[in-house]
Structure 1
Amino acid sequence: MTTHPGARALRATPEGLLWEPTERWVRGRKGDVTVVDSRRPVLVWEPELPVPQYAFPREDVRTDLLRPAEKPRTGLHTGSRIFYDLHVDDDVRPNAAWVFPADDLAGHIAFEWFLRPERGLDHWYEEDEEIFVHPRDPHSRVDALPSSRHVIVEIDGTVVAETRAPVVLFETALPPRYYLPPEDVRLDLFEPTDHSSRCPYKGIARYWSLRGGQDVPPNLLWSYPDPLPAVSVIKDRLAFYNEVVDLVVDGERLERPVTPFSSALSS
């Protein structure tokens, strides 16, 4: 049987890393300087991280901008011992890059990205689309589907939204999120905040808090005014954290889920 040249399989290293090649064109920039430009990166999953990272062949990296780290951050990245500081003009990003301690990946360099933007590059692109926070996981899906479900949102017994025209967003490892038409949300009960977040699958979100809502977490309502093309159907729609509001869907009151966001929302 002939294997299709695009077929991939996850590979494991003795150190506990999982990795696979990808055919995506990936670039990383610090300011106006392109530091990485690769058409053959690999995706790497570390045991302690829920999302993948990219590692790039050395020849696709501006290694002339890297210097051995003055204070290597040993103990991170599955025991990596080789770290680099990034020097671009007069700006130095300590420990911006490293080499994974695996023979399979010895010829590759990875860059800080997930949760540590101050140590990494400023902008990342997959093909010509800018990507935020972390690379997209090819084994995860995000599907935004128009629906006619009857959705009621309550906070402390008060109905704050009701619709029969939601868009239901299904994202791997998270509960469904119900994106509601603005006219079906009582926005008079909420006030906009300065908070924002970035998602590699959806884009940049803005937030609202409940007015006088001392007993509920802030920033519990959000919207994507300019979502990425794959989920354009959620543009300007509003969604609540299922973790802190009460949802009644088609007459059934849903249990509040426990997710990676739960601890942050309760603190």
Structure 2
Amino acid sequence: MSAFPTARAVRTTSEGLLWEPSERWVRGCKGEVTVVDSRHPVLVWEPEVSVPLYAFPREEVREDLLRPAKNPLTGTHSGSRIFYDLEVDGELLENAAWTFPADDLAGHIAFEWFSRSGRGLDHWYEEDEEIFIHPRDPHKRVDALPSSRHVRVEIDGTVVADTRRPVLLFETGLPTRYYIPREDVRLDLLVPTEHSTGCPYKGTAEYWSWRGDADVPPHLVWSYPDPLPAAGAVVGLLAFYNEAVDITVDGDRLERPVTPFTTALSARPVT
């Protein structure tokens, strides 16, 4: 199944970009300075990238803060036509903004998100709610449903979790994640890490690694201590990467899925 939207509102450019207008009021800030204040943003999906970004009409962007890029990037953002550096309060952020080559998006400027790329604007808002990492995809759903399925998780043959009261999280384009109460997890076999990630649908996650000698990647267990409302049912529960552990549901062992996380997990150094 394609991870990209297929609704009729989505348009395709000759460069392979997908885009559609959004009715959300979007603001992007660098520190206390509002750089973008837009009531007419468009969502853009780049080829081979499953999550969208925003582009904005020039008149809704602080163009007085943009400078032609001193060291423009090449081969990024679908062959972008022009890159800009952003200067705010004496700080110069290189290649923080760009324009797409597509005629459909002429007159629009897109920005990097600091929490995603390490550069660019560091605070974003849809209406009055702050969002993180990337815009929320209107074609994507996240449903967290309490269940009575019997879920067992094994790592290298050791049962590390066993529950009949999981919360199943269904997220478009990803395998079902099984969130398990802490009382049903062998926490003595896990060690907390300083790793954390952010998700625009679920919030900020904390992580644990396997304490044993099994050849598994670090940070393969996570939890949302303060999830966003859409995922409120998983608060404090623990989930395991299906890609790296063995999960049995109602007596049937699941195949390990191949997802965008598979390569990242296999590339991490083993602890």
What TM-score comes out, normalization by structure 2 length?
0.92
Q: How does 1:63-212 map to 2 (within 5 A)?
A: 63-113=63-113, 116-212=116-212
8 Å Cα contact 2:153/2:248 also seen in 1: yes
Separation of aligned partners in 2, 1:63 and 1:10: 27
What is the distance in 2 between the residues matched to 1:80 and 1:201? 28
Task: Give the equivalent residue in structure 1 for 2:4.
Answer: none
CA offset digits 1:175-230 (Å, max 9, x no partner): 10000111111111111000001111111100001113452111111000011111
Verify the 8 A CA contact 1:68 1:83 in the aligned structure 2: yes
Partner of 1:3: none
SS in 2 for 1:104: helix
State the superposition RMSD in angstroms. Answer: 1.5
Residues 148-169 of structure 1 deviation map (CA, whole Å, 9 limit, x = unaligned): 1010111111111111111000
Question: SS of the residue aligned with 1:236?
Answer: coil
Q: Note if contact 2:113-2:122 (Cα within 8 Å) is conserved in structure 1.
A: no
**1:83 CA displacement:** 0.9
- Classify the secondary structure of the residue corresponding to 1:261: helix
Identity over aligned pairs, percent: 76
Q: How does 1:203-222 map to 2 (within 5 A)?
A: 203-222=203-222
Does the CA-based 8 Å contact 2:114-2:121 persist in structure 1?
no
C-alpha displacement of 1:8 = 6.2
Whether contact under 8 Å (2:115, 2:122) holds in the other structure is no
Partner-residue secondary structure (3-state), 2:260? coil
Deviation at 1:48, TM superposition (A): 3.0
SS in 1 for 2:233: helix
Deviations 1:57-116 (A, max 9, x none): 111111111011111113222221211100001211101001111222111110013875
Please give the alpha-carbon distance, in whole angstroms, between the structure 2 residues aligned to 1:155 and 1:177. Answer: 16
Unaligned runs of 5+ residues in structure 2 are: 1-6
Match of 2:228 in 1: 228
Is the contact between residue 114 and residue 134 of structure 1 (CA under 8 Å) also seen in structure 2? no
Q: Which residue of 1 aligns with 2:242?
A: 242
Q: Which moved more, 1:209-218 or 1:199-208?
A: 209-218
Correspondence for 2:3: none
Q: How many pairs align? A: 261
SS in 2 for 1:226: coil
Q: State the partner residue of 1:10.
A: 10
Change (3 A) 1:187 1:117: same
Say which is worse superposed, 189-198 or 125-134, in terms of deviation: 125-134
Q: TM-score, normalised by structure 1?
A: 0.94
Sort the Cα spacing of 1:8 and 1:30 in 2 relative to 1 into closer, same or farther, 3 A. Answer: farther
Amino acid at match of 2:196: S
Structure 1 residue runs without a partner (length 5+): 1-6
Partner letter of residue 13 of structure 1?
A: T
Give the structure 2 partner of residue 263 of structure 1. 263
**One-letter code aligned to 1:183:** E
Counterpart amino acid of residue 237 in structure 2 = R
Cα deviation, 1:108-155, whole Å, max 9, x if unaligned, reads 110013875322111111122221111111111111111110101111
Write the distance in 1 (CA, Å) between the matches of 2:114 and 2:165.
35
Q: Is 2:151–2:248's contact at 8 Å kept on the other side of the alignment?
A: yes
SS across alignment from 1:219: coil
Q: Distance in 2 between matches of 1:10 and 1:240?
A: 34
Please give the alpha-carbon distance, in whole angstroms, between the structure 1 residues aligned to 2:259 and 2:198.
18
